[in-house]
Chains A and B, each alone.
Chain A
Amino acid sequence: MSETPKSSRQKQDFEHALESSDSSVAQFEHKHRSLFDSVQHFLHGNPTMVPVIVLIFSIIIFGFVAGSKFFSPFNLSLIMQQVSIIGILAAAQSLVILTAGIDLSVGAIMVLMSVIMGQLAVTIGIPAPIAIFVGFIGGICAGALNGFLVTRIKLPPFIVTLGTWNIFFALNLWLSGAQSIRSQTLDEVAPLLKFFGESIALGGARITYGSILMLLIFGVLWYILNHTSWGRHVYAIGDDKEAAELSGIRTNRTLIMVYGLAGLVCAIGAWASIGRVGSVSPQSFQEANLQSITAVVIGGISLFGGRGSIIGPLIGALIVGVFNSGLRLAGVDVLWQVFAIGWLTIIAVAIDQWIRKVSS
């Protein structure tokens, strides 16, 4: 379109009137955002920022309250060790929660698989690598059983995993006879089972292989969820299962795979837990199911599915560890640690609800 020089043409009357009128293009009313709204929008786009901010603040605060011991590299690496098992379970839990499900059986799967590995390697005398492999297969089967019941029999995940929690727990008792396998026996017969208890010294810090394993698991899951189509499907199913189905995702198959993968992660956690505890202990980690959910929720993954980053639960688990360590070093009674974690959980969910409102 060629432009006509202004001077070459006389303006018509109606054009004069137009000049003083509003020249902006038709658009939606633009609401002015307060700082509060901006924060809400920012958090909606970056749900992991809340736990990151909480983690940074709690580290700073406990640094003051608990003194220099808290900040020592050794203590920080110790926190990492202490949360490693719950962290791994939280990774498994996140996968399921992202699909708007919940898995109450993660801790029970883990303990059961550690008992299976221990009994096979020690009592029956199968070589340790095979015992561990069988444990991994067992974990996948246990998870897939959950997935099967959820998708094919169409039962709510809460009910299914509440049931399998009990089933796996009973199997654990039956297989172990409620007896621990001692650390010294493992050293003799199957030291490989304790592999993840080994550590490397780095300055003052002592980083166990178990801590590194936890980070690796989160790294791999992060890649799968963000850079594969399968990962996108997981988010899509959690956001709206029907819409995902209609857009061609084989939702049931994907869901079974999600539960199976969660089971595998639990079984890997089982191997790591033997290293952490030092023995095969059927009585340990009885609260791990719920602790993993706590870490996931504090980590900013929405219990309604489809939203949140897999890195969040790692931060969530670390926050719990920092709180426990800090409060203990400050000499606070145990029951107040429990109290603090309780409030933290509620506040985390409240923040999640508030952030969700942004889209409505």
Chain B
Amino acid sequence: MKKALLGAALGALALGISAAPNTAKADEIGACLITKTDINPFFVKMKEGASAKADELGIDLSTYAGKIDGDHETQVQAIESCIASGAKGILLTASDTKAIVPVVKKARDAGLLVIALDTPLEPIDAADATFATDNFKAGELIGQWAAAKLGADAANAKIALLDLAPSAPSVDVLRDQGFMKGFGIDIKDPNKIGDEDDDRIVGHDVTSGNEEGGRTAMENLMQRDSGINVVYTINEPAAAGAYEALKSFGMEEGVLIVSVDGGCPGVANVKDGVIGATSQQYPLLMASKGIEAIKAWADSGEKPQNSQGLNFYNTGVNLVTDQPVDGVPSIDVAEGMDRCWG
């Protein structure tokens, strides 16, 4: 009996402590932004967008980031701190889209609005909403562009695919498979990289999404077949690395490199002819829309709606190239430069 009383007292004390920040900030709406890393300009831009919007709407924004891509533990702690701080909502780009689900549920049960930015959770409805680029569409656009650019030669193309990581996160799969579908390859299982048996595919390799990885991966695939003339890359740093490899082989002419992201150095590389075309996404928009949604949720309890025909809110994607082709809508480099991030 005594023990139970003590336990109850301790419990009340604990509750009191965790509730304290709640009351302290009752007059101001709190929100958290949790990104995969601080290192990627994509997330830097996201933070910029969120901060600007939060200032405008008078929202108290706290930001957290994992140390490296894949740092799940730090993100879990960030969500826990966020719940404890009494924030009204969380904007999250998850490193581990499956493992984060239980702690996201904890946050939602505590009354927070959780919006996944850029990277959908698995399952996607584990978050209240997802504000993201349609990555499959982003891949499809560059695939269609590459096929149209080659014309009749597309039938004999030799394709290298430079992916992100061996664990194949969803963004990796969506872009890779979208590209192939756009190019006109039978992708079989759209959830699986590498189950295609089209002869035009030389191979897949992983890049970690940086220049060094892109270069090494390209070198390895060139060793398998030096006739490669189409290169898909997961992002623009990987594309820049692939180009360096091709240059060292003396083969940078006549090879089509396509990519996804739309960062400023990437668009500059489109301008310089390093990359043929890239699909541009808009992280700033994801974050600012996210802050608006948290504000609406705090004010009226209203949740954001999905885009028509999709199970997330599409923040848009544009193909950036100075060599437009018929049938594939695109914007030119000048406009891409205006809207680039990083």
Contacts and interface: CB of A to CB of B under 8 A. Distances in A.
Interface string A279-318: 1011111100000000000000000000000000000000
Given A182-B265, A277-B212, A334-B205, A328 B220 contact: yes
Contacts of A179: 41, 265, 342
Interface string B96-135: 0000000000000000000000000000000000000000
A47 interface: no
Task: Tell me the interface secondary structure of chain A in the complex.
Answer: helix
A354 B288 CA distance: 60
A169 B65 CA distance: 14
A178 B243 contact: no
Interface of B: 38-41, 44, 67-68, 166, 203, 205-206, 208-213, 215-216, 219-220, 223-224, 237, 240-241, 243-244, 247-248, 265, 268-269, 272, 274, 342
Task: Tell me the interface secondary structure of chain B in the complex.
Answer: helix
B223 A78 contact: yes
A206 B219 CA distance: 13
Interface of A: 69, 75, 78, 81-82, 85, 166, 169, 173, 177-180, 182-184, 197, 199, 206, 273, 276-279, 281-286, 325, 328-329, 331, 333-335, 338
13 contacts: A69-B224, A173-B39, A178-B41, A184-B269, A199-B248, A277-B211, A278-B240, A278-B241, A279-B244, A283-B40, A283-B210, A286-B208, A329-B220
Contacts, number: 98
A283 B67 CA distance: 12
Contact of B211 (A78, A281, A328): A281
A183 B237 contact: no
B44 A281 contact: no
Given A277-B215, A278-B244, A329-B224, A184 B210 contact: no
Contacts of A177: 41, 44
A75 B244 contact: no
B32 to A, nearest CB: 20
A182 B240 contact: yes
Contacts of B206: 334
A180 B223 contact: no
Nearest to B269: A182
Most chain B Cβ neighbours within 10 Å, of A69, A82, A177, A286 = A286
Nearest to A208: B248
A279 B266 CA distance: 13
A325 B221 CA distance: 10
Given A82-B219, A276-B215, A278-B241, A335 B166 contact: yes
A329 to B, nearest CB: 6
A286 B68 contact: yes
Contact of A284 (B203, B210, B220, B272): B210
A279 B211 contact: yes
Given A184-B274, A277-B212, A281-B237, 8 more contacts: A69-B224, A81-B219, A82-B216, A182-B268, A277-B215, A277-B241, A284-B210, A338-B166
B215 A278 contact: yes
Contacts of B208: 286
Most chain A Cβ neighbours within 10 Å, of B166, B223, B247, B272 = B223
A138 to B, nearest CB: 20
A277 B244 contact: yes
Contact of A276 (B212, B243, B268, B272): B212
Contacts of A78: 219, 223
Nearest to B250: A206
A328 B205 contact: yes
A269 B225 CA distance: 30
A214 to B, nearest CB: 16
Nearest to A166: B67
Contacts of A206: 248
Contacts of B67: 166, 169
A317 B181 CA distance: 39
Contact of B240 (A69, A180, A273, A334): A180
